[in-house]
Structure 1
Amino acid sequence: MVPSFPKLAGLGERYLYEQLVAIRDGERVIAQMAGQVDNKTDQELADLAAYYDGFERSGGQTDPKLADLGEKVYRAGVAERGVAACTACHGPQGHGNDPAGFPALAGQHAEYLEGQLKAYATGYEQPGEGRYTDGESKIMRSNAFGLSDLELKAVASYIAGLQ
């Protein structure tokens, strides 16, 4: 309901679990989550992840002015800057790859996605800052860092409209 908050429904059980653990263990700091999962066991977090993943996500809309650029970045990446296509991990329709831990993105709030991409870019440029829960591969950090502000906004908007 709040565009700056994520839609958890159908995000992917493995991804949700990993993020909840990272929040609980202080690896991913989210002010709005303070105290929400601090004392949860691994099993309780796994149960929460399964619960939220079991819901169907609501759709969103793409800003028509950003659609072409967003689709280009999502489907092809930006080769000259080493940015991989989002489809490689998140799938052509944004349904993710749960066994691999890549979240479903289709229909996610554009504002939330843009904020997360900016946080990943910050994590690449300034280790210890922003988001860095993408492991040693740094795939999200390096991809987000390689995108302009307009490309970040456009791909976030495009993903919001995927169904």
Structure 2
Amino acid sequence: MAVMSMTLFAALRCAGLLLLALAGAPAPAAPAPQDTLAQRLQACTVCHGAEGRATPQGYHPRLAGKPADYLYQQLLAFRDGRRPNAVMAGLMAPLSDAYLREIAAYFATLDLPYPPPARPAASPAQLRRGEQLVRQGDKARGLPACAACHGAGLGGRLPGIPGLLGLPPDYLLGQLGAWRVGQRRAQDPDCMAELARRLSPEDVAAVTRWIAHQPVPPGLQPEAPAPLPEPCGAAP
């Protein structure tokens, strides 16, 4: 019993000395916080989805893989009041042109899979009309095909025209409506505003529903620059 008591006493004494040594030792240094552009821009994913990839539902657009010049021009438009959005304007207000270019370049380089299309309810006749306007346009109404500017695959066109596939239908509908009523503006000549005003409300619905029904092919990328059917200040 005496031997056990001595052994227990020695163990407790060693433990106490170890605790005293640890108490006097300096705490391990906390790792230095990282400050990368990717970490700073995680705030954007609250609305736009993980790494700038929007979900099919909702109103916010995808950022990943859009042409850098397009993203930069939109950030400028939010900051400078040409594209009204109180939240975006507040976020962009303190940022310099150079920093906005960095943000645009970061999202432009992301290559992420698209979510499946939302496929909103649409009649066969509405989908046929939507495809006609997107692929061929309507010469009688002075409407060039959407594909003439946004690319045959609708993945956008360099340097500054965005893709149309993979966007939430509510967002597509909202943006065409904003162009029509002058809520969204671009540099003169404002081709999108002019073209949107030539669309009837029925045509706006047909175009957005047909686009929203389309799957996004793997590897979709913006196409090379090409002559546009109309002068467009936002895409020289």
Alignment of 1:123-142 (within 5 A): 123=182, 130-133=183-186, 135-142=187-194
**1:24 aligned residue:** 79
Corresponding letter in the other structure for 2:181: T
**1:58 aligned residue:** 114
Name stretches of at least 5 consecutive residues in structure 2 with no aligned partner: 1-54, 217-236
Corresponding letter in the other structure for 2:211: I
SS in 1 for 2:90: coil
Is 1:43–2:98 an aligned residue pair?
yes
**TM-score when normalising by structure 2:** 0.61
**TM-score when normalising by structure 1:** 0.86
How far off its partner does 1:158 sit?
A: 2.0
How far off its partner does 1:162 sit?
A: 4.7
How far off its partner does 1:97 sit?
A: 0.8
Task: Specify which of 149, 152, 163 is matched with residue 89 of structure 1.
Answer: 149
| Max Rg structure | 2
Give the conservation status (yes or no) of the 8 Å contact 1:10–1:57.
no
- Calculate the aligned-residue CA RMSD, in Å: 1.7
How big is each residue's C-alpha offset from its partner over 1:90-122, in whole Å with a ceiling of 9 and x where there is no partner? 0121111122x1111111111101111011111
Residues 96 and 61 from structure 1, CA distance in 2 versus in 1: closer, same or farther, beyond 3 angstroms?
same
Is 1:158–2:206 an aligned residue pair?
no
- Pick 1 or 2: higher relative contact order, CA cutoff 8 A, min separation 6: 1
Q: Which moved more, 1:42-51 or 1:3-12?
A: 3-12
Give the conservation status (yes or no) of the 8 Å contact 1:11–1:105.
no
Determine what percentage of the aligned residue pairs are the same residue. Answer: 37
Q: Distance in 1 between matches of 2:215 and 2:67?
A: 16
Is 1:113–2:176 an aligned residue pair?
no
Q: Distance in 1 between matches of 2:215 and 2:157?
A: 15
Aligned length: 155
SS in 2 for 1:68: helix
Task: Specify which of 41, 60, 74 is matched with residue 134 of structure 2.
Answer: 74
How far off its partner does 1:42 sit?
A: 1.1
How far off its partner does 1:85 sit?
A: 0.7
Name stretches of at least 5 consecutive residues in structure 1 with no aligned partner: 124-129
